[in-house]
């Protein structure tokens, strides 16, 4: 089984995001970037599948600027076999990303796409569903357990009422949640080996994909500063404030 793992280069989760002065987006200059944490979980799961001889080959694909190669190298250091870098300086929308991933999956003959449930930079969480619909493949979203068997996957996923178990016939798309696994740290020998692993360079034009934007960002603003709380004398005063000041009851 050939497994495709999309990985995205995003603002590191430990870094406080800053909005550009013109409010056109988030300022990414001179800040630490890293692999999207949910994608890191997907990479770990793909490598574990290969270690169990379930996956025959694992491929990391990243869509982004030249520096996105660093993200692919991280995946290679974790144990992925090779990479595909679709180079673009555009900030692509989920629809364009899904179109490119569909083309890559078809070109590579992938049977399973393991991907993070969302990227922490924009939190759209729409790419997995769009990709599944375009390919006509079943999807298991927010997976916290994946079990493999001949020609199928059993996925346990978190829903509002608890856990739901679904069975997917391959080929399929699975999006990963936080509790699926704990990603490994790449060892120094594996980091050195990753430098010799191949990364194929592509562009959206190579796949004949139209990446024209359908959305326009009007303005990006920082969230309001949280105000300090106040102490109340009794429950009656609390109810009064919640009703007349906060307007929540």
pLDDT tens digits along 123-144 = 899 999 999 999 999 999 999 9
> Distance of CA 77 to CAs 48, 65, 140, 173, 189, Å?
14, 20, 27, 24, 9
Residue 225 predicted with pLDDT over 90: no
d(CA 176, CA 181): 9
Question: Would strands 57-64 and 82-87 be described as parallel, antiparallel, or unpaired?
Answer: parallel
Please state which of the four CATH numbers 3.30.70.260, 3.40.50.620, 3.40.50.300, 3.30.930.10 is assigned to the domain occupying 2-246.
3.40.50.620
Candidates 166, 103, 171, 98; CA nearest to 128 is 98
- Measure the CA–CA gap between 231 and 90, rounded to whole angstroms: 49
Confidence of residue 30 (pLDDT cuts 50, 70, 90): confident
Q: What is the DSSP letter of 26?
A: B
Percent of the chain predicted with pLDDT > 90: 75
Rounded Cα distance between 70 and 117, Å, is 21
pLDDT, tens digit, 9 for 90 and up, residues 173-203: 999 999 999 999 999 999 999 999 999 999 9
- Mean pLDDT score across all residues of the chain: 93
pTM of the model: 0.87
| Residue given tokens 């990414």 in the structure block | 28
């Amino acid at each position: 089984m050939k497994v495709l793992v999309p990985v995205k280069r995003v603002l590191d989760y430990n870094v406080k995001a800053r909005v550009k002065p013109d409010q056109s987006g988030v300022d990414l200059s001179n800040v630490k970037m890293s692999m999207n944490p949910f994608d890191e979980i997907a990479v770990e799961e793909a490598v574990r599948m290969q270690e169990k001889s379930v996956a025959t080959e694992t491929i990391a694909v990243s869509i982004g600027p030249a520096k996105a190669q660093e993200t692919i190298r991280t995946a290679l250091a974790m144990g992925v076999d090779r990479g595909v870098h679709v180079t673009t300086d555009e900030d692509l929308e989920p629809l364009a990303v899904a179109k490119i991933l569909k083309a890559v999956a078809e070109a590579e003959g992938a049977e399973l796409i393991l991907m993070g449930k969302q990227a922490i930079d924009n939190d759209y969480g729409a790419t997995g569903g769009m990709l599944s619909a375009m390919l006509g493949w079943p999807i298991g979203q927010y997976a916290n357990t994946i079990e493999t068997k001949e020609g199928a996957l059993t996925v346990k996923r978190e829903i509002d009422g608890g856990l739901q178990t679904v069975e997917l016939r391959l080929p399929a798309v699975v999006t990963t949640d936080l509790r699926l696994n704990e990603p490994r740290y790449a060892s120094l020998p594996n980091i050195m080996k990753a430098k010799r692993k191949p990364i194929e360079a592509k562009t959206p034009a190579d796949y004949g994909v139209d990446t024209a934007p359908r959305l326009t960002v009007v303005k990006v603003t920082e969230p309001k500063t949280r105000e300090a709380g106040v102490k109340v004398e009794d429950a009656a005063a609390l109810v009064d404030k919640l009703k007349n000041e906060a307007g929540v009851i």
